[in-house]
């Protein structure tokens, strides 16, 4: 089983609301179509999620209208991704985390994964995304695509976990690190930031912390540039591109 994430930084212009990059969405879909078997796809919310979330003060403020507007906006992006995959000949189906995830203190507490497993077994490609979600202790919250990747990869014991974003990996002194473990965190902490665009889930820092949790559970992942042509294809083949996040020896 493989888990692939495509960042909102690739699929949208994160500085402008609802700004889908249709050309990039189709290119990524075409690369996935070469090898769509045994795969769970997760995409980021990009400007479809982060901008309305910030506008309504989510997740700190419980705001029903904000929840509805943010969810309906990310569903639109999900629709575009599904359409592109269908055009590329992949049987893609939407899975909206708002309807199947419960958070507790901002972390996934339960997740109805059985339909996802069944889809994969039957040759369908489930397509999940960053979303708003109900939270047992905080009423509601935001579940990032990055957190979904970590949870699903661990629960389904994924062999390949690839997280695509708009940079060549975790950059340190302008260069992507080839590999990274939790031991390296203190020395690179200063170089780790949020996002260049609007991102309420912590940009690269939030992403790396998720991937380190996954490494602690014994599952290796890569953070790679999904904006470089051919990289999605390479990542799905399990090639070591970008930054490999693993458990210390
Ligand atoms: N050390 C770092 N290495 C790479 N990217 C970093 C680093 N520090 C901050 N960033 C920012 O994190 C961004 C990637 O995170 P994010 O915007 O959340 O992507 P995505 O939409 O794919 O989740 C990069 O585009 C960059 O602006
Ligand atoms: Mg992000």
Residue 221: Cβ within 10 Å count: 26
Contacts of 113 (CB under 8 A, 6+ apart): 152, 155, 156
Query: Residue 165 belongs to what H/E stretch?
Result: strand 160-165
Q: Is the peptide bond before 59 cis (omega within 30 degrees of 0)?
A: yes
Residue 209: its pLDDT value, please?
95
Residue 200: its pLDDT value, please?
79
Residue 16: its pLDDT value, please?
86
pLDDT tens digits for 113-130? 999 999 999 999 999 999
Fold for domain 2-245? Carbamate kinase (3.40.1160)
Closest CA to ligand 1's atom 20 = 7
Q: Is 8 in the pocket of ligand 1 (CB under 6 A)?
A: yes
List the chain domain ranges. Answer: 2-245
- Which of ligand 1's atoms lies nearest the C-alpha of 46? 21
Q: Is 199 in the pocket of ligand 1 (CB under 6 A)?
A: yes
Longest dimension (CA), the chain: 48
Residue 57: its pLDDT value, please?
94
Residue 194: its pLDDT value, please?
83
What spacing in Å lies between the alpha carbon of 196 and ligand 1's midpoint?
A: 7
Cβ–Cβ under 8 Å, residues 68 and 53: no
Which residues lie across from 43 on neighbouring strands? 6, 129
Rounded distance, CA 48 to CA 53, Å?
Answer: 9
Among 98, 123, 126, which residue's Cα sits nearest to residue 111?
A: 98
Closest CA to ligand 1's atom 8 = 193
Q: Is 193 in the pocket of ligand 1 (CB under 6 A)?
A: yes
Rounded distance, CA 135 to CA 116, Å?
Answer: 21
For a ligand 1 pocket test, name from 43, 165, 201, 222 the mutation site with the most ligand atoms within 8 angstroms of its C-beta: 165
- Residue spans of alpha helices (H) in the chain: 8-11, 22-32, 46-55, 64-87, 114-121, 145-155, 185-188, 203-216, 231-236
Which residues of the chain, if any, have pLDDT below 50? none
Q: Is 59 in the pocket of ligand 1 (CB under 6 A)?
A: no
Q: Is 197 in the pocket of ligand 1 (CB under 6 A)?
A: yes
Rounded distance, CA 109 to CA 4, Å?
Answer: 22
Closest CA to ligand 1's atom 2 = 171
């Amino acid at each position: 089983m493989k888990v692939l994430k495509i960042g909102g930084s690739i699929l949208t212009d994160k500085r402008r609301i609802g700004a889908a990059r249709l050309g990039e969405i189709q290119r990524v879909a075409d690369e996935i179509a070469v090898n769509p078997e045994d795969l769970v796809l997760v995409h980021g919310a990009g400007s479809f999620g982060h901008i309305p979330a910030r506008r309504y003060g989510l997740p700190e403020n419980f705001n029903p209208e904000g929840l509805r507007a943010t969810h309906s906006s990310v569903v639109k992006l999900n629709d575009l991704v599904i359409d592109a995959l269908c055009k590329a000949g992949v049987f893609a189906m939407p899975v909206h985390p708002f309807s199947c995830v419960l958070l507790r203190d901002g972390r996934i507490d339960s997740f109805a994964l059985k339909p996802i497993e069944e889809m994969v077994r039957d040759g369908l490609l489930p397509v999940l995304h960053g979303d708003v979600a109900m939270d047992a202790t905080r009423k509601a919250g935001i579940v990032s695509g990055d957190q979904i990747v970590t949870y699903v990869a661990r629960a389904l014991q994924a062999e390949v976990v690839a997280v695509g974003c708009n940079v060549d990996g975790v950059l340190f002194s302008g260069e992507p690190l080839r590999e990274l473990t939790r031991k390296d965190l203190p020395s690179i902490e200063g170089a780790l930031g949020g996002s260049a665009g609007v991102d309420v889930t912590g940009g690269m820092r939030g992403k790396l912390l998720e991937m380190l949790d996954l490494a602690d559970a014994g599952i290796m992942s890569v953070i790679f540039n999904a904006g470089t042509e051919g990289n999605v294809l390479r990542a799905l083949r399990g090639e070591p591109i970008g930054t490999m996040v693993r458990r210390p020896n």
